[in-house]
Amino acid sequence: MLSMIGLIVGLGLLIYFTMKGMNLLVAAPLCALFVALMSGLPLFPQLVEEGGVNFLTSYMGGFTSFIMSWFPMFLLGAIFGKVMEDSGAADSVSKALVNAFGLKYAVLAIVIACAVLTYGGVSLFVVAFSVYPMALSLFKQADLPRRFIPAALAFGSVTFTMTSAGSPEIQNWIPMDYLDTTPYAGWEVSILVAVLMMILGYWWLKRMINKAVGKGERFEARENDPTSLERDLPNPWMGQIPLFVVLVISFIFHHDLGTSALIIALLGGVITTYVLNRRYFTDFSKALSDGTIGALIAIGNTAAVVGFGGVAKAVPAFNVAVDAMASIPGSPLIGGAIAVSVIAGMTGSASGGQTIALPLLAPGYIDAGVNQEALHRTVAISSGALDSLPHNGYVVTTIRGICGETHKDAYGPVAAVTVIVPLIGLAVAIALFSLGLGI
């Protein structure tokens, strides 16, 4: 009982401290320590048998494993974003988009750019790094409140593209290992739900922005923003080519190399930006330095939260919660959706929700005769809802590490388009599958 109280209160405290802007490198281990103490988890490896579960090893295991897996992508992604910014390529592309769409559709341009990169196989974290400079330029030209940039980036990346049929993101691929399906499972329903989420999310995002503008909010420049002095800019096509290089290389090598393909893709993007636009750089060395610092801050904050998840999974209450989720009676689609959503929320990870829940759920559901394609799509969509709570790694990285905003200012719009909209899409998907569509 104490373990469950500790897990719930610890998660609540982490969300509270995150919303209050507390440094996550302090907040996350403190909340993890509270969870460990409430569960009677030994604090140090010296207090248990070799290989035994303890607080320090569990926390640092999660922390260091995330850095080990993602640091090259974070580093190159941040550098790519900075060289696009410093070379003027981001400004050039954004102005071309303004000319094509008009300032009225600046937000739509950002959403489309994120969606194309995400569906093309570029990691969600990297998309945020890559598109942010362009988004900043577009919001500045359109004089829109910059606190909505994280929501625009997140909406284009982690909603209607991340969990849709055919998406190369891991949230669409994990169910294949447990359900013997393909990336295109339930594609008929997936298309309908993706279109619904896209229309609803964009309408809601624009409504929130227009309401804020109506109250007098405008774009506010900061000291560390790129200079707005008149300068020569690259040809828009020269600015777009590096984005396409990242997209194409990622797509070509994704199946063989997985996320490691991003190392090649991003390095190709950085080199292409330099070769094509080198005469437009204001300070290439500073761009590299700023990108490196940005990557360290972003991955440090994210790893701190992942470390909390490592401790949460090590305490007895977590297994009790998982077992309870796996035993939900009724429709397997509803049970699976609830289980994956809740576990994703507890761990702050969509992929974590799937990899923990599916090994427990899939065998029994398959034996019961569930339609595996319908379950695949339901589980994929459900993983992209409660995973976007304030402590989620992507949310923390995008709001704080990349956009330099606070949760207090930016999280509300992010929650609307990445939590509520996917939950509505999930309900529609379950209803359509229950009616026999796509089965």
pLDDT tens digits for range 132-152? 888 888 898 889 999 999 999
Q: What is the pLDDT of residue 259?
A: 67
Q: Average pLDDT for residues 387-407, to the nearest whole number?
A: 87
Query: Quick one: pLDDT band at residue 218, thresholds 50, 70, 90?
Result: very high
Instruction: Average the pLDDT over 274-295 and give the result.
Output: 88
In this prediction, residues 276-280 reach a mean pLDDT of: 88
Sign of CA dihedral 270, 276, 282, 285: positive
Residue 230's pLDDT band (boundaries 50, 70, 90)?
low
Number of Cβ atoms within 10 Å of the Cβ of 370: 20
Q: Is the pLDDT of residue 405 over 80?
A: yes
pLDDT average, residue stretch 55-80: 87
The amino acid occupying position 319 is N
Per-residue pLDDT, 213: 94
Residue-level pLDDT at 195: 95
* Close Cβ partners of 284 (under 8 Å, ≥ 6 residues apart): 83, 86, 274, 278
Residue 120 pLDDT level (bands cut at 50, 70, 90):
low
Residue 229 is predicted with a pLDDT of 47
Are the CB atoms for 133 and 276 separated by under 8 Å?
no
| Across 60-74, 110-124, 202-216, 264-278, least confident range | 110-124
Split at pLDDT 50, 70, 90, the class of 189 is: very high
Q: Give the DSSP H/E element, type plus range, for residue 366.
A: helix 350-367
d(CA 115, CA 124): 10
61-70, 78-87, 131-140, 151-160: which is most confident: 151-160
Residue 416's pLDDT band (cuts 50, 70, 90): very high
**Comparing 123 with 344, which gets the higher pLDDT?**
344
Stretch 352-372: mean pLDDT: 82
Whole-number pLDDT of residue 226: 67
Give the start-to-end residue ranges of the domains of the chain: 2-44+52-216+233-434
Instruction: Say what the pLDDT of residue 438 is.
Output: 60
pLDDT, averaged across the chain: 86
Instruction: Tell me how far apart the alpha carbons of residues 434 and 80 are, in angstroms, rounded to a whole number.
Output: 45
Q: What is the pLDDT of residue 217?
A: 94
Cα of first residue to Cα of last residue in the chain, in angstroms, is 42
Q: Quick one: DSSP state of residue 49? A: S
Position 271 confidence tier, pLDDT thresholds 50, 70, 90: very high
Q: Residue 226 corresponds to which tokens in the numbers above?
A: 């790129």
Give me the mean pLDDT over the 216-228 stretch: 79
For residue 299, the SS3 value is: helix
Give the mean pLDDT of 72-77: 85
What is residue 265's predicted lDDT score, i.e. its pLDDT?
Answer: 85
**Cα–Cα distance, 131 to 77 (Å, whole number):** 10
Residue range 174-186: mean pLDDT, rounded: 85
Predicted confidence at residue 196, as pLDDT, reads 95
In the chain, the amino acid numbered 283 is: D
At residue 212, what is the residue type?
Answer: A
Question: What pLDDT shows up at residue 59?
Answer: 92
pLDDT in the model for residue 388: 87
